[in-house]
Amino acid sequence: MITTLTPTQLDMIARQLGREPRGLVGIAHQTADGIPTVLQIRSLVDNRPFPTLFWLCSKDLYRAIAEIETSGWVKQIELEIQQDETLREAFRQNHVSYVAQRWQLMHPQDREQIEQLGFTRLFEQYGIGGISQWDKVRCLHMQYAHHLCGENVIGQRMDAEFGLQSLKIRI
């Protein structure tokens, strides 16, 4: 991960988001050309809990995934999760790993403040996309961001079925 950001990188991120990033820790994933695709975000943003560790910042990926969401694929994959025990367990493990990784990467001050504010349970219970029902898919964008930064069965399926890994990413 890149934590020391150049002015050029910060400008690219602001253009991608359409605003200045808040709670930015660094670039968690980028293309071979150096275009940021996923950002790591702090767990407390403006003193409020923010359980989303990885934030997709690529407009191209965002648009492609939005089309997948509107096609009804979320309901399809949720049904598969319900029916396929192997997929369900792999997805549950993705959430477990995400929670552990979030605690591991969390800024020590954030961890301390989260404990003081009584939000520890929230950060242990909320997985990818800030969801507590680990057999549901709340947001494909966050699933794919996690996939780009680690192992995520939903992201793997999106690559296999929709070829997102081949998408040309621009600023």
Is 53's pLDDT higher than 90? Answer: yes
Is 138's pLDDT higher than 90? Answer: no
How far, in Å, are 17, 36, 53 from residue 133 at the CA level?
A: 28, 30, 17
Q: How many Cβ atoms sit within 10 Å of the Cβ of residue 167?
A: 17
* Tens digits of residue pLDDT in 54-105: 999 999 999 999 999 999 999 999 999 999 999 999 999 999 999 999 999 9
Is 139's pLDDT higher than 90? Answer: yes
pLDDT at position 132: 94
Is 4's pLDDT higher than 90? Answer: no
Which parts of the chain fold into alpha helices (H)? 7-17, 59-70, 73-83, 85-105, 108-117, 120-125, 140-149, 153-162
Mean of per-residue pLDDT scores for the chain:
95
Q: How many Cβ atoms sit within 10 Å of the Cβ of residue 60?
A: 16
pLDDT at position 41: 96
pLDDT at position 47: 86
Interval 129-154 mean pLDDT: 95
pLDDT at position 129: 87
